[in-house]
Amino acid sequence: MNHSSDTWILAAQCPSRLGTVDVVTRLLKEWRCYITEQQSFDDRLSQRFFIRTAFHPEGGALDADAFQAAFAARAAEFGMTFELTAPGQLTPVVIMVSKADHCLNDLLYRYRTGQLPIEIRAVVSNHPDLEPLAAWHGLPYHHFPITPETKPEQEAQVWQVIEESGAELVILARYMQVLSSEMSEKLAGKAINIHHSLLPGFKGAKPYHQAHAKGVKLVGATAHYINDDLDEGPIITQGVEPVTHADTPEDLVAKGRDIECLTLARAVAYHLERRVFLNDKRTVVFAR
């Protein structure tokens, strides 16, 4: 979305307890910060509280370090973790792909036109195919082939790129490889995958072919954080597309591309705008 150039975001969560909203809003008032949009939610099941506040300092400037120090003292009392995001802040990102280019193409377009507040540091793939696309956008492309035998080494190479690039978010834009448990754990909460089905339906390989065999009338896509359980990570958002008896499995693959692109891009935008909170195996998403 088109954030105003002076809008800061404060996102926080903690166990449910009286005063959780007050501790946020009082500080903002004291610091003369005007709240333009706020959403909070208390999950009675997990007994956790989540809040997202968009604000701008009345004077225009905010000493982020001092503000965070001041807030940390009070937040500690509530066991509250928080993240402050400055206006215009770009998140460093690594994108992982395989051979299919539609999601990468879509993300690169949004990146190039400033629609996503990201700075793409690298594109990583187990295939060489998408290098020209990355090159046209002036991005480094790392080709790390993978076989069952070389998986540990390949993942180490991928991890090195992620670490050295300083990426805070990894986007699996149809990477098509199952990550090892170790890799998944390292990336927990900071890697978003797009799966081409309405999870939990049609997990695993070739979901459109599964969908065709089953004769469903809707296909879809699911963007989720990865965890160490394949296609079971916390869901951020899902999209859906009607299909008919006349669609072959290949037609489903083709029809699904658009909804995969849109669903992944929306999930990434939500994440970057600090609208998404992990809540055990589920997410809280303060969507717009």
Stretch that binds a copy of itself, among 35-43, 69-77, 89-97, 150-158 (CB under 8 A): 35-43
Non-local (6+) Cβ contacts of 219 within 8 A are 196, 197, 198, 208, 211, 240, 241, 243, 252, 255, 256, 259
Placement of tokens 């083709």 in the chain? 254
Nearer Cβ to a copy of itself, position 14 or 162? 14
Going by C-alpha positions, the residue among 225, 151, 169 that lies closest to residue 195 is: 225
Site for a copy of itself in 171-210 (CB under 8 A): 198-202
Q: Reply yes or no: is the peptide bond before residue 117 cis, omega within 30 of 0.
A: no
Does 115 sit near a copy of itself (CB under 8 A)?
yes
Residue 158 or 219: the one with the smaller Cβ distance to a copy of itself is 219
By C-alpha distance, which of 148, 151, 131, 129 is closest to 140? 131
Confirm or reject binding of residue 95 to a copy of itself (CB under 8 A): no
Question: Binder to a copy of itself among 15, 36, 66, 86 (CB under 8 A)?
Answer: 36
CB atoms closer than 10 angstroms to residue 215: 8
Beta bridge partners of 33: 57
Give CA angle at 215 (260, 194), nearest 5°: 20
Q: Does 6 bind a copy of itself (CB under 8 A)?
A: no
Among 83, 88, 90, 288, binds a copy of itself (CB under 8 A): 288
Size of the site for a copy of itself (CB under 8 A): 72
Residues 216-275 close enough to bind a copy of itself by CB under 8 A:
216-218, 220, 234-238, 240, 244-248, 250-251, 254, 257-258, 262
Which CB atom, from 73 or from 281, has the smaller least distance to a copy of itself? 281
Q: Kindly tell me which residue out of 6, 25, 143, 168 binds a copy of itself, with binding defined by CB under 8 A.
A: 25
Of 195, 202, 200, 198, nearest in space to 241 by CA: 198
Q: Among this protein's residues, is 247 annotated catalytic?
A: no
